[in-house]
């Protein structure tokens, strides 16, 4: 009995001997092993396909070339109020003109011995009516032409090397061609890194740099990057770019710290 196999097809013939074999139970039991094997094979195949489908799709997509298109946008900053560069700075305050009437200076009191006292009478009231008391005695000419004399010597000019914030400057620095020229320069010069393409990396790279007095860019660094070679490409584009229009403070060009975002975007 230990070696008895009740699933042997021989037993199926013994059970249905002399009976109606056209009955469905006979056919079902006769084909049971084939149907079970077929169902097991189909189920295993479907399971393998479902598990391996992500890898198959990724493998197939690697052989299909993608159409890459770089879309570059720029940050639009609020334009500062217009400044009339032709308007000269206000002149320095003029010195008061010389008086046209005599000014009599009152001498300060000095204590001296009695024998040294001079018989000098102070100005009378009548004399003060026609003379203007001042700090010093000046003889005026009523017919003289009034002229404003320039201050003696030259004012010392000190060079301003401070770095100003772009938000607190009178005239902000900008690209030589404005925002439109900046966008055209990026579209012409920006190269999408291959590493970023392969890893589907896109986003905004925030750059900070200093616009010097002559418009050159220095101290270029990345404030917020996205990797994949995009940070290095943004630095390269700024270093190789043309000079900007410098910022202006008090009518003179100054150094300005500026922040600019460069966007890397792959087309779908």
CA distance linking residue 26 with residue 8, whole number of Å: 14
CA distance linking residue 78 with residue 172, whole number of Å: 10
Closest CA to 143 of 105, 100, 102, 187: 100
CA distance linking residue 92 with residue 73, whole number of Å: 46
Between the CA of residue 264 and those of 38, 158, 197, 221, 225, what are the distances in Å?
A: 53, 43, 10, 17, 11
The pLDDT mean for the chain works out to 76
Which domains occur in the chain, in start order?
A: 9-63 (no CATH), 98-108+122-147 (no CATH), 163-264 (3.30.2420.10)
pLDDT band at 216 (very low <50, low <70, confident <90, very high): very high
pLDDT band at 233 (very low <50, low <70, confident <90, very high): very high
CA distance linking residue 243 with residue 211, whole number of Å: 9
Q: Of the given ranges (83-87, 135-139, 161-165, 222-226), which has the lowest mean pLDDT?
A: 135-139
pLDDT band at 153 (very low <50, low <70, confident <90, very high): low
Contacts of 259 (CB under 8 A, 6+ apart): 166, 206, 207, 208, 223
Q: Kindly provide the b/e burial profile for residues 80-108, where b requires at least 16 CB atoms within 10 angstroms of the residue's own CB.
A: eeeeeeeeeeeeeeeeeeeeeebbbeeee
Residue 105 pLDDT: 58
Q: Of the given ranges (106-115, 122-131, 240-249), which has the lowest mean pLDDT?
A: 106-115
Task: Using a pLDDT cut of 90, give the percent of the chain over it.
Answer: 15
The residue written with tokens 């009518």 in the block is 251
Residue 107 pLDDT: 58
Q: Kindly provide the b/e burial profile for residues 257-268, where b requires at least 16 CB atoms within 10 angstroms of the residue's own CB.
A: bbebebbbebee
pTM of the entire structure?
0.42
């Amino acid at each position: 009995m230990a070696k008895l196999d009740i699933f042997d097809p021989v037993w199926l013939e013994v059970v249905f001997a002399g009976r109606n074999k056209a009955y469905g139970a006979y056919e079902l039991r006769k084909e049971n092993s084939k149907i079970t094997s077929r169902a097991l094979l189909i189920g295993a195949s479907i399971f393998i396909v479902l598990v391996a489908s992500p890898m198959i799709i990724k493998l197939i997509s690697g052989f299909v070339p993608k159409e890459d298109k770089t879309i570059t946008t720029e940050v639009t900053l609020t334009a500062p109020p217009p400044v009339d560069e032709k308007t000269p700075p206000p002149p320095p305050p003029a010195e008061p003109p010389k008086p046209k009437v005599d000014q009599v200076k009152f001498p300060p009191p000095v204590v001296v011995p009695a024998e040294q006292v001079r018989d000098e009478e102070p100005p009378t009231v009548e004399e003060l009516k026609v003379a203007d008391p001042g700090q010093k005695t000046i003889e005026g000419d009523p017919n003289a032409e009034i002229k404003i004399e320039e201050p003696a010597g030259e004012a010392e000019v000190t060079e301003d090397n401070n770095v100003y914030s772009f938000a607190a400057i009178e005239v902000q620095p900008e690209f030589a061609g404005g925002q439109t020229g900046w966008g055209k320069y990026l579209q012409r010069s920006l190269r999408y890194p291959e590493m970023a393409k392969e890893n589907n990396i896109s986003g905004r790279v925030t750059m900070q740099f200093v616009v010097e007095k002559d418009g050159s860019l220095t101290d270029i660094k990345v404030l917020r990057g996205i990797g994949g070679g995009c940070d290095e490409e943004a630095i390269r584009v700024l270093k190789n770019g043309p000079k900007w229009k410098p910022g202006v403070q008090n009518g003179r060009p100054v150094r300005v710290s500026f922040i600019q975002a460069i966007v890397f975007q792959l087309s779908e």
